[in-house]
């Protein structure tokens, strides 16, 4: 039994698993990417605000610590001035001031010099050296105007002369002149030490009596101390911390070296200081404006920076300094970048897990459907394999929709199998019956032919014998059809190459006396025709071939009779021709029973026939065309 052909489905280029998994994976991937993008954008937006708050907090901490650093000399100076006012004769007891100042430096490491100068030129101090030692010193009449510095013991009394610098008058020093001129406490401008040229700034408080300035108390810190203080801040390792005066000149900046005076004896401007980053960032910052707590963001040589600027909050004496913090944004974003990388790994892990779960889910759906599809294919091809049946029964044990579908399919398959077996049995019985019918028809026709042959033996009239022979040949032509059907097992179609070949072979044998040297050739390819068309075609070939053998080759003339059956666009073409003497010479052109029979058979085929004689009188051709 032939399998049922299935039409190809041109649009189905992918498997069901791919058709489900691809969009599902795309949706999962797009969802994760969208979530990740929104997270990154939101975190970057919020990070900008966070960075500004952090850099402002940094400047605030820097301002508080610097203010605290400046408050120490201010309060110590106020205390010393109050003490000096309470001493009855401060000019005569400079040694007392030395001991007090030394104790203060010993107690407060931020201080560098504590001193007092009087209007008569007398001067007393305590000074911290770079190695941490503390010296006491004095200048005035007893030293003949020289500034003598002495090492001292724990009680502050001088022990050994350390240095002597002549020509020292406290009234000419910046810290004294400013306070004596105004009569008000305040900060001095930045100046150089008389002893070692270190840069310093001092808190000065005048000693007043009746509106007259008797002297000035000075408590000093060095710019190197401010520089060292800036370097203690952790942010100085990644960026720049600086302290600027109201004119935008650098008081102190983090880095390797403290500031020094320029060629004009002034502090360096921020644009021309030795710190490269501060010099380049100065163009983006309001260095000469009254500072308020502000944040600025800018890019230098491809690196993004954020800066905070703030003024001193407790600036009672109008110092006007401002603090600046310049930090690379990576200082704040590094951890976020690390977090993003870690989040990216988590994202990829979750994505892989989601895709794996999606694959398992899709596979759990598509694999049973693939097994059902395979079973359906087997069923459509009329194959009831045990493997597909076992797979369907296994799926039918599931307790979900697929299980119910498989159970329904298995029940349908079982019923179809039963019906198929019944139909197959009935078909086999009918095939046996048809085969027997064709066999008996063939035998009966051969019996009739044999009876005609026996009857012909008693006839002496040549015309009657010829008529009997023609009848036998026609009967055999029909018998050959049933014999072919019987032998091939094709009960609806006849292989024309074999069928026409049998007819022509039989005629070649039976008509050997009429045309002993004539060959008959048959070409029908692989054409098969139904019985309703095969029998008329066989009879037409029989009549035309007999006509050619009887009339086209008189005597011992040699030649060929050709029979061709071909398929054309609108049907079939049957051509029977010979290369004999032609219709006019053979006398076969007049209408007879053979031609009448041919035309009748052609009408059965609903076709048309043409009888053609060659122009040179040789050969005869008959063309029959009929539809499928």
pLDDT of 315-356, one tens digit each? 888 888 999 999 998 877 777 777 777 777 887 888 788 878
Query: In this structure, is residue 6 part of a structural domain?
Result: no
Question: Does the pLDDT value for residue 614 go beyond 50?
Answer: yes
> Does one domain contain both 320 and 459?
no
Tell me the CB-side half-sphere exposure of residue 453, using CA atoms within 13 A.
Answer: 12
* Average pLDDT score over residue span 447-452: 74
The pLDDT score that the predictor gives to residue 432 is 63
The pLDDT score that the predictor gives to residue 127 is 92
Domain final residue pick, 331, 365, 386: 331
List the domain range (segments joined by +) for residue 122: 60-331
510's enclosing H/E stretch is helix 496-510
The enclosing domain of 570 has a CATH number of: 3.30.565.10
CA dist., res. 546 & res. 480, Å (int): 16
Domain final residue pick, 296, 315, 331: 331
Mean pLDDT of the chain: 81
CA dist., res. 470 & res. 473, Å (int): 5
> Does one domain contain both 303 and 175?
yes
Bridge-based pairing of strands 147-152 and 158-165 is antiparallel
Question: How many domains, the chain?
Answer: 2
| pLDDT tens, position by position, 27-81 | 878 887 888 788 777 776 777 787 888 888 988 999 999 888 899 999 999 999 9
> Does one domain contain both 323 and 462?
no
Where is pLDDT greater, at 422 or 456?
422
* Average pLDDT score over residue span 590-617: 80
> Does one domain contain both 440 and 307?
no
> Does one domain contain both 315 and 447?
no
The pLDDT score that the predictor gives to residue 469 is 72
Query: In this structure, is residue 507 part of a structural domain?
Result: yes
What percentage of the chain reaches a pLDDT higher than 70?
Answer: 85
The pLDDT score that the predictor gives to residue 380 is 67
Tell how far CA 195 is from the center of its chain. Answer: 72
Question: Does the pLDDT value for residue 590 go beyond 60?
Answer: no
The enclosing domain of 82 has a CATH number of: 3.30.450.20
| pLDDT tens, position by position, 214-255 | 899 999 998 888 888 888 888 888 889 999 998 889 999 998
Query: In this structure, is residue 141 part of a structural domain?
Result: yes
Question: Does the pLDDT value for residue 486 go beyond 70?
Answer: no
The pLDDT score that the predictor gives to residue 169 is 92
Confidence of residue 565 (pLDDT cuts 50, 70, 90): very high
The pLDDT score that the predictor gives to residue 117 is 92
* Positive/negative CA dihedral, 219, 225, 230, 232: negative
CA dist., res. 605 & res. 470, Å (int): 22
The pLDDT score that the predictor gives to residue 229 is 87
Query: In this structure, is residue 196 part of a structural domain?
Result: yes
Question: Does the pLDDT value for residue 366 go beyond 90?
Answer: no
The pLDDT score that the predictor gives to residue 11 is 41
> Does one domain contain both 326 and 448?
no
* Average pLDDT score over residue span 434-462: 70
* Average pLDDT score over residue span 539-562: 84
| pLDDT tens, position by position, 116-174 | 999 989 999 999 988 889 999 999 988 999 999 999 887 778 889 999 999 999 999 88
Query: In this structure, is residue 372 part of a structural domain?
Result: no
Query: In this structure, is residue 197 part of a structural domain?
Result: yes
Q: Which of 225, 265, 238, 233 is nearest to 249 (CA)?
A: 265
- 304-308: long-range contacts at Cβ-Cβ below 8 A with a sequence spacing of 24 or more? 304/328, 304/329, 304/330, 305/239, 305/277, 305/281, 305/329, 306/51, 306/52, 306/55, 306/332, 307/55, 307/281, 308/52, 308/55, 308/56, 308/58, 308/59
The pLDDT score that the predictor gives to residue 154 is 79
Angstrom CA distances, 96 to 57, 103, 137, stand at 44, 11, 12
Domain final residue pick, 276, 307, 331: 331
Query: In this structure, is residue 455 part of a structural domain?
Result: yes
Question: Whole-model pTM above 0.75?
Answer: no
Number of H-type helices and E-type strands within the chain: 13, 21
> Does one domain contain both 245 and 116?
yes
| pLDDT tens, position by position, 274-328 | 888 999 999 998 888 876 788 899 999 989 999 999 988 888 888 889 999 999 9
The winner for highest mean pLDDT among 365-369, 495-499, 583-587, 592-596 is 495-499
Decide if 218 contacts 113 (C-beta within 8 A).
yes
| pLDDT tens, position by position, 138-154 | 999 889 999 999 998 87
Lowest mean pLDDT among 105-119, 122-136, 388-402: 388-402
């Amino acid at each position: 039994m032939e399998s049922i052909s299935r039409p190809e489905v041109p649009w189905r280029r992918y498997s069901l698993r791919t058709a489900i998994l691809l969009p599902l994976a795309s949706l999962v991937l797009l969802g994760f990417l969208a979530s990740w993008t929104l997270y990154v954008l939101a975190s970057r937006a919020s990070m900008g605000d966070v960075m500004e708050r952090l850099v402002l907090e940094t400047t605030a901490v820097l301002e508080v610590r610097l203010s605290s650093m400046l408050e120490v000399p201010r309060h110590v100076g106020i205390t010393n001035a109050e003490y000096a006012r309470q001493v009855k004769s401060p000019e005569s007891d400079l040694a007392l001031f030395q001991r007090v100042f030394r104790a203060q430096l010993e107690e407060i490491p931020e201080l560098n010099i504590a001193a007092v100068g009087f209007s008569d030129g007398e001067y007393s101090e305590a000074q911290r050296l770079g190695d941490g030692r503390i010296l006491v010193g004095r200048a005035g009449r007893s030293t003949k105007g020289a500034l003598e510095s002495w090492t001292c013991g724990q009680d502050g009394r001088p022990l050994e002369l350390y240095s002597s610098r002549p020509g020292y008058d406290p009234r000419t020093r910046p810290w004294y002149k400013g306070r004596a001129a105004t009569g008000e406490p305040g900060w001095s401008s930045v100046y150089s030490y008389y002893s070692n040229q270190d840069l310093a700034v001092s808190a000065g408080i005048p000693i007043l009596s009746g509106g007259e300035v008797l002297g000035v108390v000075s408590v000093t810190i060095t710019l190197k101390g401010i520089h060292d203080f800036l370097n203690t801040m952790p942010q100085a390792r990644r960026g720049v911390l600086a302290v600027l005066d109201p004119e935008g000149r650098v008081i102190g900046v983090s880095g390797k070296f403290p500031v020094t005076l320029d060629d004009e004896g002034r502090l360096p401007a921020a644009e021309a200081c030795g710190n490269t980053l501060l010099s380049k960032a100065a163009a983006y910052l309001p260095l000469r404006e009254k500072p308020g707590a502000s944040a600025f963001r800018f890019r230098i040589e491809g690196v993004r920076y954020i800066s905070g600027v703030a003024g001193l909050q407790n600036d009672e004496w109008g110092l006007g300094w401002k603090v600046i913090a310049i930090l690379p944004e990576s200082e704040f974003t590094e951890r976020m970048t690390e977090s993003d990388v870690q989040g990216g790994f988590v994202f990829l892990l979750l994505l892989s897990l989601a895709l794996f779960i999606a694959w398992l889910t899709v596979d759990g759906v598509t694999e049973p459907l693939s097994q059902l599809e395979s079973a359906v294919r087997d069923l459509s091809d009329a194959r009831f394999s045990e493997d597909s049946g076992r797979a369907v029964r296994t799926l039918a044990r599931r307790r979900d929709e697929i299980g119910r579908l498989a159970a329904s399919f298995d029940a349908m398959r079982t019923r179809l199998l039963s019906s198929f077996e019944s139909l197959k049995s009935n078909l086999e019985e009918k095939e046996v019956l048809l085969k027997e019918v064709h066999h008996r028809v063939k035998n009966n026709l051969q019996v009739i032919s044999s009876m005609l042959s026996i009857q012909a033996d008693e006839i002496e009239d040549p015309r009657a014998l010829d008529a009997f022979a023609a009848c036998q040949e026609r009967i055999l032509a029909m018998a050959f059809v049933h014999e072919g059907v019987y032998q091939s097992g094709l009960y609806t179609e006849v292989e024309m190459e074999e069928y026409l070949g049998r007819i022509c072979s039989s005629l070649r044998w039976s008509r050997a006396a009429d045309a002993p040297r004539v060959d008959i050739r048959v070409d029908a390819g692989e054409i098969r025709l139904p019985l309703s068309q095969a029998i008329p075609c066989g009879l037409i070939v029989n009549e035309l071939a007999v006509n050619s053998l009887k009339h086209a080759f008189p005597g011992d003339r040699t030649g060929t009779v050709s029979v061709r059956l071909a398929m054309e666009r609108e049907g079939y073409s049957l051509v029977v021709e010979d290369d004999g003497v032609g219709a006019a010479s053979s006398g076969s052109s007049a209408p007879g029973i053979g031609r009448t029979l041919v035309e009748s058979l052609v009408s059965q085929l609903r076709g048309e026939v043409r009888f053609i004689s060659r122009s040179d009188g040789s050969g005869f051709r008959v063309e029959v065309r009929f539809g499928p």
